Structure formats: structure tokens, C-alpha cells
Amino acid sequence: MSVIGQPLDRTDGILKVTGQARYSADNTDAKLAHAVLITSTVAKGRIASIDTNRAPSMPGVLLVMTYQNAMRLPNNGVPDAQPPAVRKLTLLQTNEVRYSNEPVAVVIADTLEHAQGAARYVDIRYEGAMPNADYTRARATAYQPDKMMGRAITTQRGDVDAGLRQGPTRLDAVYTTPYEHHNPMEPHATVARWDGPNLTLYDATQGVSGAKSAVAKFFGIPDNNVRVICPFVGGGFGCKGSVWSHVVLAAMASKQTGRPVKLVLDRPQMFGMIGNRPFTEQRIKISARDDGTMTGMRHDVISTTSTFEDWTESSAIVTRMLYAVPNQATTHKLVKLDIGTPTFMRAPGETSGCFALETAMDEMAYQLRMDPLAFRIKNHAAMEPQEKKPWSEKSLLQCYQRGADKFGWANRSMQPRSMRDGNTLIGWGMATATYPANRSEASAVARILPDGTAMVASGTQDLGTGTYTVMTQVAADALGFPLDYVRFALGDSSLPKAPVSGGSQSAASVSPAVRAACTQARDQLISMALADKGSPLFGVPGDDVRVSNGWVVSVSNPDKRDPAAAIIARNGGRAIETFATTKPGAEKQQFAFHSFGAVFVEVHVDADLGIIRVPRIVGVYDVGTLLNEKTAHSQLMGGIVWGVGSALFEKTELDARYGRYTNANLAEYHVPVNADIGMLDISFIGEADPHINPDGARGIGEIGITGVAGAIGNAVYHATGVRVRDLPVTLDKVLA
């Protein structure tokens, strides 16, 4: 029986629960020094003076690094590379201040306590200017960026104006989503060490290969002079997908002190310098005939970015592909503010865009007096509507049906405020979930060792998603070895290159490379046995042989069998080693690759107080083959929980007067806790995608959050009759 899809425990689970897993900040080194960042208290201006007279003389202090004494970097620390592959960082090359909480100095000492103590005595004075941080005032300056991460900034199909006039039922509404910040359990952390011209970084990153390349560019050194190591990541969610200022600053501090340096961000420093989900304003227009057929749609997005780098929240990309609308246009614009640059945050664009689109779809269904599920089915896209490509595989209709059956959707009454239990208003809402099925080039190496076990490796990452486990399963399946005979290694830029663990692409990209390398190794083992006169399999036809449980076995005569260790021992005792690189082929141009899901939500709202509870959520997903049912369920569960946070809790409050986030800590930045989460019923269609890769498996890290906020907002409307178009949905908005 294949181990693919089996709900196996994590291969790294024991290391994690016993505290043996070493995260970036756990790395120590001889003469390790500790660095503490000092960040700006103004959002715009320049440093007028820095008084470092006292701090350098304090116990254990090695260096106070400022713009006055920091090592000079090529081109003032602005490498010749385009964001977001290489971001525009703050590396103490000038005295300019561009946003609040921006790095302005680094104190390095022999202990963390000495560095923290000295940092309090670095007196920085600013010549501040009034920051431009008010979106409402700056909205008139919105502009269209030049590019959007390889996607079209605007799209149009058909005659949009005519389409919007055709349908007698029309919607014109504006939706907003707030600033949100990542808060993984592990904050950003870097340990930097120079050995002559070579730099080693233990860095909390979602992409060891990308970090290696980016850091090399900042220092103007060859990529091969940098090695990035990250075997475990304590959550990433997008913020660890790029190299940020602290990484290069740690390396600069190490260079200038001549010692290994550890730099760990504290929790308030996670707000500002390592990206966030930007504020979005989204206007959606829809027109439909009386039977529910949509005739036209327009989705215009404005989002915020920094003054020094364009980052576009691609919220309208979902609208382009999700429903069969013949006449449609989408646009994206930016507003520059004196804040840090936004970045990827779990399902960037899809999360905010799904909320707006799925809320608008619900509003249209009510105007049409149609069931919201029936309205979506009516406009189901049988092929990708923008580029007119067939789907690689799509089982969304099955998701709708199974989800509705499991939830009991047929028992829902249409009228808002019509379902209640005493003083509790009950609402049922639903939404569609979707995320692209991405795949990139990846490489892997496989070795069958002399003891008959195997080591397989790729320079990918495990953010806690289960990469160690699922790649072990793929390798064992391809080799024909027991799981406990296979060890999978990752998290080191010296290993074969793999893409960033972002865009839900790791499983879909790395698994074919692992399978290809392991298949080659297995075939070499078989060939070795068939050519070996000392093997019971000598002379057996090749098509009659397979590898099972670590033995080469004759299919027709199972008594003829030979263990891998014995075969290798008789043939020189050297490991079998194979290498493979795989990448998408012509199918990438021939098909549209997406995953889909249906989310059904029940909410309870206190009729007097407006308190919202979510007792149950049902989600059904079409994500291709499951490589591991247990880790897949865990991924979807985590995504849904974050969707609840996005819907009801998460909002970073920006004081526009000072350009400062006022709830930049875990006490005031609200996220769901166990008491906020009810029953989660998660299931999968399980239909393999025949075009994505040999296993038919897509990534699932991000689809779980999409659709959830829309479904919850729609359920709140059904419960209360109050439509909230601005996230988060809080009790004051319900009672307003």
C-alpha cells in the first residue's frame, strides 16, 4: 500500500515537542555577541544627532553601530535587483527616517542583557517632519504601479459598461480591509558569522536560497560566499519570505566586531520593518439578470504602500477567475504613505479580495432573492474566464454540494433575523475559497547508503507545514523503502536549490524533484542487482522486478529477493547517488491551475450586546492529491482559524497623526484563542490534478484562510440584517 496520503505523524514531531528542534535563535557560537536594534520614534525626517558617549563604555559593549560608523555597502546598500526578490532596506547608510519603528542603530555586546542595557543610553534626536500617514487625505494621490509580481495590473474582457447596463439588478459597494501584521510564534532572528570572505547565516527564513542570493547582493559578493541555514521555522506566513534589514545588519555587525552576532527582533519590532498586509479599499460593481446570470462586473482596488517601494495587494485577481462573467474589468492602484513596506501575508490579495468579492456575491443574491449558494452555482466558471483556458482539474461544484449537505444548508431560512434561539440570533453564511496552484523549478538529491537506508535532500523549508514528513513519504514511495529507512534533509542553501516556501508551492514543486531523484536511485539499485552474479535476481527480466520494503524483489517469484545493503556491499560499498531537477512544462501554458473550496459558517449573535460567536465551520476543499491527510487537515484548520481572526479580530491601529502603530504587541493585537473557535469540519474531494505534477498534489498552505471572512460576514448579515463591509466585523458595527 502506498504511503502517499496516509495520515502519518510528523517525522520531526518528537524533536519539536521535546525541545530538540533548533530554531535560528537557538544557535550559539564561540564568542557569540548579541545585538539589539534601536528603532525610530518618528515616522518622517532625519537623525539630527546621536549621543553615544555613554553606551560604548558600558560593561560588555563591543560596538554601537549607527549611520556614522556603519560599514559602507555597495551603492549605499541599494543593490541592483528588483523588489520583492530583494527589498529596499534600512542599513544605516544615511540619517534619513522613512517610517516609525525603522532601524536607526544597533548595539552589540557580549550578552543580551548588556546590549539591552546600553541601548537605553543611546540618545537619538530627530528633526521630524509631519508624516503623510492618513489614507483618507492621501487617497487623491492614488496611482497605477508599473507592475504587480508578474501579474497584469489591470484586466478587461468584453464590454464592461454595456454589461453593467444589461442586468436590471445592480450592486455598487465599497469594502475595506485593515492593516494586519504577522505574529508567528518565532519572531525574526538571525545569527551571522564571517569566516574570512564567507558568511554563514542562521536565519528564520522561508527561502534559504533566496536569502543567500539577496544578502550576497547587498554586500557585493558572490552567492557562493554566503550560506543560509534554517532547518526549522516557527511560523512564517509571508513575513519571512524576504530578507529584511535586521538580517543584513546582523551580518554587518559581525563583520565590524569580528565576532558571531545574534540579532532577534522583539515583539513590537515585528510591527513596521518586516512587512504587513496593507489597508485596502475595494469598489465592486455587479449587474445581473433576473435569473441570476451576471452580465457585468468591475473591481477597483486601492491599497497602501511605503514611500520608497511599490507593493501591490493584488486583491482583484480572485475576481478575474472565480465566476463566469462575460464583461469584466479589474484595476489596482497604490497610495504612498510614510509607513514600512507591506509584504506577502498568508494568501496576499486572495484574502482581502475574497472578502470583498464574496460579500458582494452575497449582497447580489439577496437583491435577486436567490439562495447565495444557488447564485454562485449559476455563475460557476466551467473554464478559466479571463484567459479561456481549461482547468487542470476543478471539483468546486462537488465542494458546494458536499459542504451544503454536511452543514444542512437546505434547512436555512432566507430572511435575515429569522433564525434565533431565545436572545441569540443565528446566522448561516457561505463563501467560495480559492488559491492558485503554483509550481516552480526545484532540485533534489537522493542517496541509497551502504547500510540500506536512504538520505534525500532539497534546499526547501518547513514552516511547520509538514514538509519533512510529506517529502519523506514521497521519497519512500518512489524508492520502495520503509518510512523509517528514509531521512529527508532541508533548510540549507548548500543543498539542491528549491523555491521559497510561499505561494503554497513547496509541496507541488519539491515533490516531483524528490520523486525523480528517488526513482533514478531505485532504478540504479535494480540495475545493479540484475547485473550482479551474486544476486538471486541475476538474469531476471527487468520488468519482473520491483523494490519493496527496501528489498529488490521478483514479482513472479517473491523468493528471489535481495536487500539493498547486500547489493551495494557486493558492488564496492559506495552509496548510490542521483540528482534531479524538475520544472513545469508546456502544461503551464495550456491549463489554468487553481485550488477551490466551499466554506459554510454558523454564527451566534447576542441580540442585545452584539457579541459574535462562531460555533461551527464546515469547509470542503479541492486541492488535488493529499500527500498526508493529517498535515493537510492541520494546514486547513490553521488557515480557517486565521480566517476567523481576519473576520472578527485582526486590525493594526495606525495613528495617522504620527504614523505610528498603537497596538504593536500581542496584548493589544487581537487574534483568536481556543475559546473563540468552535467545531471545524474539514474534508477533501481528493481528486488528483493530472497536470500539476506526477503525484497530482497541489499546495494547501493558503487556501484555508480565503473565503472565511466573507462567509462569517455573510452569516452575521443573515443573523442580524446588518451588512458590515469593513473588516473586522465587530460588535459596535453590528449594533450601529
**242 & 100 share domain:** yes
pLDDT digits (tens, 9 = 90+) for 113-131: 999 999 999 999 999 999 9
**294 & 251 share domain:** no
Confidence of residue 719 (pLDDT cuts 50, 70, 90): very high
Give the CATH number of the domain where residue 717 resides: 3.30.365.10
Q: How far apart are CA 409 and CA 543, in angstroms?
A: 52
Q: Is 702 a catalytic residue?
A: yes
Last residue of a domain, one of 237, 270, 303: 270
Answer yes or no: is 424 within a domain: yes
pLDDT digits (tens, 9 = 90+) for 362-389: 999 999 999 999 999 999 999 999 999 9
Answer yes or no: is 461 within a domain: no
Could you tell me the CA-to-CA distances from 432 to 92, 217, 403, 580, 601 in Å, in that order?
A: 46, 41, 11, 37, 12
**403 & 478 share domain:** no
Residues 711 and 359: beta-carbon distance below 8 Å:
no
pLDDT of 82 > 90? The answer is: no
- For residue 35, give every residue at least 6 positions away whose Cβ sits within 8 Å of its Cβ, in sequence order, or none: 106, 107, 108, 115, 249, 250, 253, 261, 262, 263
Confidence of residue 195 (pLDDT cuts 50, 70, 90): very high
Answer yes or no: is 156 within a domain: no
pLDDT digits (tens, 9 = 90+) for 25-65: 999 999 999 999 999 999 999 999 998 889 999 999 999 99
Q: What's the mean pLDDT when you consider all of the chain?
A: 97
Q: How far apart are CA 429 and CA 617, in angstroms?
A: 10
Across 223-249, average pLDDT: 98
- Domain coverage including residue 221: 24-130+182-270
**86 & 107 share domain:** yes
Confidence of residue 309 (pLDDT cuts 50, 70, 90): very high
Answer yes or no: is 147 within a domain: no
Q: Where do we find the cell 528588483?
A: 82
Cell readout for 281 is: 479599499
The packing angle between helices 629-648 and 708-720, to 10°, is 50
Residue burial 93-109, b: 16+ Cβ < 10 Å; e: rest = bebebbbbbbbbbbbbb
**647 & 520 share domain:** no
**427 & 332 share domain:** yes
**191 & 289 share domain:** no
Closest of 526, 537, 504 to residue 635, by C-alpha: 504
Cell readout for 719 is: 443573523
pLDDT of 600 > 80? The answer is: yes
pLDDT digits (tens, 9 = 90+) for 231-243: 999 999 999 999 9
Answer yes or no: is 292 within a domain: yes
Last residue of a domain, one of 238, 270, 302: 270
For the question of whether the overall pTM of this predicted structure is more than 0.85, the answer is yes
Last residue of a domain, one of 583, 615, 635: 583
pLDDT of 149 > 90? The answer is: no
Q: Where do we find the cell 449573535?
A: 605
Answer yes or no: is 293 within a domain: yes
**342 & 429 share domain:** yes
| pLDDT at residue 52 in the model | 84
pLDDT digits (tens, 9 = 90+) for 542-559: 999 999 999 999 999 999
**547 & 679 share domain:** no
**40 & 119 share domain:** yes
| pLDDT at residue 81 in the model | 86
**318 & 398 share domain:** yes
Per residue, the 3-state secondary structure of 448-485, as one string, reads ECCCCCEEEECECCCCCCCHHHHHHHHHHHHHCCCHHH
Choosing from 350, 358, 393, 702, which is the catalytic residue?
702
- For residue 565, give every residue at least 6 positions away whose Cβ sits within 8 Å of its Cβ, in sequence order, or none: 450, 451, 452
Q: What is the largest CA-CA distance in the chain?
A: 85
Answer yes or no: is 6 within a domain: no
| pLDDT at residue 736 in the model | 86
If one counts the domains in the chain, the total is 3
pLDDT digits (tens, 9 = 90+) for 436-455: 999 999 999 999 999 999 99
Cell readout for 123 is: 540618545
pLDDT of 1 > 80? The answer is: no
Closest of 31, 91, 14, 714 to residue 375, by C-alpha: 714
**292 & 356 share domain:** yes
Answer yes or no: is 512 within a domain: yes
